Homo-oligomer: A and B are copies of this chain.
Amino acid sequence: MELNHTHDPRTRSWLASANEAGCDFPIQNLPFGGFRKAGSNEAFRGGVAIGDQIIDLAALSQTDALQGLPALALRTCAGSSLNDFMAMGPVAWRALRHALFDLLREDASGEAVQALRNSLVPQLEAEHTVPSRIGNYTDFYTSIHHARNVGRVIRPDDPLTPNFQWLPIAYHGRASSVVISGTPFHRPMGQAMLPGAAAPVYGPCARLDFELELGFYIGPGNAMGETVPLEQAEAHIFGICLLNDWSARDHQFWEMAPLGPFLGKNFCTSVSPWIVTLEALAPYRVPFAHPANEPQPLPYLDAPSNRAHGGVDIQLEVLLETAQHRAKGAAPDRLSATGFRHQYWTIGQMVTQHTVGGCNLQSGDLLGTGTISGPTPAEAGAIVELSLGGTRDIELPGTGERRRFLEDGDNVILRGWCEKPGAARIGFGQCSGEILPARQG
């Protein structure tokens, strides 16, 4: 987590758009993703965001711009997924990021800089893909505020399960239905049990929800039977994205006893195009500890590095754009704003917990943090919390509409960024998805 020259906020790029105030992708960020020209039949390949452009890593790998380890790392980014690059580990990730940084600096010049300049593709002309072949997707449940808020809806007397403060709770999600931001999906059909009913009904989800989450991708994996110690956990994390774990609450709450969510979650999960590396986030790492009067982690979930800087101070917001917003040309309304600093467990603890029994993580696996809700009602990361279980209207000032759950045509937009004095802004871009009407069978 030590800072180096790539974190100096004074460094500017020869690409003007990267230097603009509020830009998510300055030279200090350099997040990785997968892209191609929009609407084309081109193969997807790796890219790095800089300003309003993308460095086409397949094109750059055809040049002599890089040498040595950075060139080897670059070559693994030329294919349709970043799994091989993720498997290379932090030394290779850093080597490539630093090499690109050096070529993008305002004062850089020469043939390599020209080669990089020739490989730029405007972000506006690109379409994205899920950046890894996700072998397994796991979703955690690590916001104590979310757990209490949702727990109150299901178990008013006992909202927090007794294990919450002892381990990062998680369940396995569905990898096949993880889609890239901007992919619309159909409102799911399914079973729900209405209050007081004798039999369930089959129909379109009536309580469709979003979940504001961060996702993180696994770099090098671990062998089956081996545990990743907490001190080493972050060397297994490639980087972080935004994630929306769409949820059909009526289906979920009916199906989930005793084995947890299944159809209520597996119809769609959206991820943002860009993966921000842990190295880029180094200036925003924050100390992490549980309150002294609460349970302290067991030794395997405790480590000095985790206490010193296990947290990440990422700011987050949720915007809603309805069909009426689009018709009126109105800006989306903000539903919520919160931050990852409130989370009860760190991403390192999640990796260690996931592997403590010997489960093997693989390069490219996706782990979600679970819904991120802050301590106040306005910081809730799901509409079921904001509407108090669907009992309270949420006002949308932009159109005068109201919501208790999501409606067809609603487009939910997650945004995330890090910002503070003395450090460059590190943005995550956005993660969006629009709800199409149910396909009734």
Contacts and interface: CB of A to CB of B under 8 A. Distances in A.
Best-surrounded residue of A179, A257, A261 (most CB of chain B within 10 A): A257
A227 interface: yes
Nearest to A190: B357
Interface in A388-434: none
Determine which residue in A255, A299, A357, A439 has the highest number of CB atoms from chain B within 10 A of its CB, and name it.
A357
Nearest to A205: B357
A171 B359 contact: no
26 contacts: A151-B258, A162-B257, A163-B257, A166-B191, A167-B255, A169-B262, A171-B171, A171-B172, A172-B172, A172-B262, A172-B266, A176-B224, A176-B359, A177-B358, A185-B358, A189-B227, A200-B298, A202-B299, A202-B300, A224-B268, A229-B441, A248-B357, A259-B260, A266-B357, A267-B357, A268-B358
Contacts of A259: 141, 169-171, 256, 260-261
Contacts of A166: 191, 193, 199-200
Please provide the 10 A-B residue pairs with the shortest distance between their CB atoms, ordered closest to farther. A260-B260, A188-B357, A172-B172, A171-B259, A259-B260, A263-B357, A266-B359, A161-B257, A267-B357, A186-B225
Copies of this chain, complex-wide, total: 2
Contact of A258 (B135, B154, B360, B441): B154
A163 B260 CA distance: 12
Nearest to A175: B136
B163 A263 contact: no
Interface in A357-381: 357-362, 365
- Chain A contact residues, majority secondary structure: loop
Contact of A358 (B189, B199, B358): B189
A267 B354 CA distance: 10
B267 A169 contact: no
Nearest to A150: B258
A13 interface: no
A217 to B, nearest CB: 15
A295 interface: yes
B163 A255 contact: yes
Interface in A43-64: none
A179 B259 CA distance: 23
B176 A174 contact: no
Contacts of A154: 258
B199 A295 contact: yes
B260 A356 contact: no
A175 B135 contact: yes
Nearest to A154: B258
Nearest to A266: B359
A162 B198 CA distance: 10
A251 interface: yes
Contacts of A170: 259, 262
A261 B169 CA distance: 10
A211 to B, nearest CB: 13
B260 A258 contact: yes
A176 B362 contact: yes
A162 B193 CA distance: 10
Interface string A256-284: 11111111101110000000000000000
